[in-house]
């Protein structure tokens, strides 16, 4: 192709020359070749070509050929062994392989890795192991239908049949064990949510409200206070919750909670001084007053008692003031 002498021409003339050249050659040459001949950048040629309406997708152009990099098998093997341990940049530096090829190889390897390990690892763990982005891992996993929720359901269904129902219920309600700890304890291959669903299907309550005093006693390292009688004995002999807490090494609020579950709250509740029963002078209803308040009143000569402000108001209305009832 002859190199055009476009330099020296001015403005519109030059543009027209370029346009004429592109319309003549765009079907036979690619932008790179025309750019070389015109002394312009590939981008500029592409822009002018498209402005002239010569779009590549309309056909008629020669397909652009890119040089194909052929790598021999041993080099690919070498790259593949390095993929888990090194990032792309250092592989390119050590193996003299085109960067794009390394990226492609890593992507293919990561896909196989995800398919093999997605059930055991989270997306973030997969991302760390394959040195890919977590968002890509997530996208790829979903794009081939590897759904974690479905997996969860399948796992919990299979775990359900292998669980020891009484053992699980005992652990969750009496032995101070949480769902997560139970998985550790029995070496189950299931997530916390999976176990919760399995327990739900087996009618085992997993809500913390189902925990008994024994659960808390085990949880805080003092199983013997799970027995209410021993709890009471300790309380009496040591002389209070604070002393118990000191001697057992268990927080006071935990002891309070356990005691309340044993119905021993009366141990540390202040006792009531007692009540006095009175009768209302208006409606005749009986009501109580604290004993310590009996006899303390503004008008000691007054013998009448009233159950409420309403009854007191009625009494005042009937006996005093301008509107009092006439006999």
Q: Which helix (H) or strand (E) holds 253?
A: helix 252-261
- List the one residue from 112, 157, 283, 316 that touches Zn ion (CB under 5 A): 283
Q: How far is the CB of 303 from Zn ion (least distance, A)?
A: 15
Which single residue is written with the structure tokens 């007191």?
A: 312
- DSSP labels, 166-216: HHHHHHHHTS---HHHHHHHHT-SS-HHHHHHHHHHTT---SGGG--HHHH
Q: How far is the CB of 322 from Zn ion (least distance, A)?
A: 24
Q: Tell me which stretch binds Zn ion (CB under 5 A): 1-9, 52-60, 93-101, 272-280.
A: 272-280
| 3-state secondary structure (DSSP) of residue 325 | coil
Q: How far is the CB of 306 from Zn ion (least distance, A)?
A: 6
- Note whether 280 binds Zn ion by CB under 5 A: yes
Going from the C-alpha of 31 to that of each of 28, 37, 56, the distances in angstroms are 10, 10, 10
Q: How far is the CB of 279 from Zn ion (least distance, A)?
A: 9
Q: Tell me which stretch binds Zn ion (CB under 5 A): 2-10, 25-33, 194-202, 283-291.
A: 283-291
Q: Which two tokens stand for residue 18?
A: 């370029």
Per-residue binding string, Zn ion, 223-262, x by CB under 5 A, is: ----------------------------------------
Q: Of the two residues 39 and 313, which places its CB atom closer to Zn ion in the complex?
A: 313
Q: How far is the CB of 297 from Zn ion (least distance, A)?
A: 17
Q: Of the two residues 243 and 283, which places its CB atom closer to Zn ion in the complex?
A: 283
Q: Of the two residues 48 and 311, which places its CB atom closer to Zn ion in the complex?
A: 311
Q: Of the two residues 230 and 285, which places its CB atom closer to Zn ion in the complex?
A: 285
- Note whether 311 binds Zn ion by CB under 5 A: yes
- Give the residues across from 279 on adjacent strands: 286
How many Cβ atoms from other residues are within 10 Å of residue 53's Cβ? 8
Q: Of the two residues 15 and 285, which places its CB atom closer to Zn ion in the complex?
A: 285
Q: Of the two residues 76 and 280, which places its CB atom closer to Zn ion in the complex?
A: 280
Contacts of 144 (CB under 8 A, 6+ apart): 115
Q: Of the two residues 242 and 313, which places its CB atom closer to Zn ion in the complex?
A: 313
Q: Tell me which stretch binds Zn ion (CB under 5 A): 57-65, 256-264, 300-308, 315-323.
A: 300-308
Q: Tell me which stretch binds Zn ion (CB under 5 A): 45-53, 171-179, 278-286, 289-297.
A: 278-286
The site for Zn ion, by CB under 5 A, has a size of 5
Contact 94, 82 (CB under 8 A): yes
Q: Of the two residues 61 and 280, which places its CB atom closer to Zn ion in the complex?
A: 280
> For helices 73-82 and 99-117, what crossing angle results, to 10°?
60
- Note whether 307 binds Zn ion by CB under 5 A: yes
Q: Which two tokens stand for residue 24?
A: 């003549």
Going from the C-alpha of 155 to that of each of 117, 120, 182, 190, 287, the distances in angstroms are 15, 12, 16, 6, 63
d(CA 224, CA 238): 15
Q: Tell me which stretch binds Zn ion (CB under 5 A): 118-126, 164-172, 252-260, 309-317.
A: 309-317
d(CA 22, CA 46): 10
- List the one residue from 148, 252, 282, 312 that touches Zn ion (CB under 5 A): 282
Q: Tell me which stretch binds Zn ion (CB under 5 A): 28-36, 174-182, 225-233, 280-288.
A: 280-288
| HSE (side-chain half, CA atoms, 13 Å) at 22 | 26
- The residue ranges that bind Zn ion (CB under 5 A) are 280, 282-283, 307, 311
């Amino acid at each position: 192709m002859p190199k055009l002498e476009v330099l020296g021409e001015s403005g519109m003339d030059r543009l027209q020359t370029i346009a004429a050249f592109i319309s003549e050659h765009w079907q036979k040459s690619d932008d790179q070749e025309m750019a070389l001949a015109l002394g312009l950048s590939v981008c500029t040629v592409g822009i002018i070509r498209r402005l002239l309406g010569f779009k590549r997708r309309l056909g008629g152009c020669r397909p652009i050929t890119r040089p194909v990099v052929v790598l021999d098998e041993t080099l690919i093997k070498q790259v593949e062994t390095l993929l888990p341990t090194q990032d792309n940049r250092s592989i390119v530096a050590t193996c003299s392989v085109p960067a794009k090829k390394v990226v492609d190889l890593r992507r293919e390897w990561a896909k196989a890795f995800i398919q093999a390990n997605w059930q055991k690892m989270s997306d973030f763990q997969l991302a760390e192991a394959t040195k890919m982005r977590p968002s890509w891992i997530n996208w790829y996993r979903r794009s081939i239908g590897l759904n974690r929720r479905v997996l969860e359901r399948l796992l919990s269904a299979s775990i359900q049949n292998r669980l020891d129902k009484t053992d699980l219920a005992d652990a969750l309600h009496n032995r101070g064990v949480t769902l997560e700890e139970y998985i550790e304890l029995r070496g189950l291959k299931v997530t916390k949510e999976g176990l919760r669903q399995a327990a739900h299907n087996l009618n085992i309550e997993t809500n913390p409200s189902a925990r008994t005093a024994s659960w808390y006693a085990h949880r805080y390292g003092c199983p013997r206070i799970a027995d209410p009688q021993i709890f009471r004995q300790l309380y009496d002999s040591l002389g209070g919750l604070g002393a118990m807490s000191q001697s057992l090494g268990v927080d006071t609020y935990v002891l309070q909670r356990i005691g309340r579950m044993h119905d021993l709250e009366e141990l540390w509740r202040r006792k009531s001084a007692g009540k006095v029963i009175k009768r209302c002078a208006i409606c005749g209803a009986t009501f109580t007053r604290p004993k310590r308040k009996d006899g303390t009143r503004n008008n000691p000569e007054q013998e009448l008692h009233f159950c409420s402000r309403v009854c007191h108001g009625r009494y005042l209305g009937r006996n005093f003031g301008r509107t009092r009832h006439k006999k």
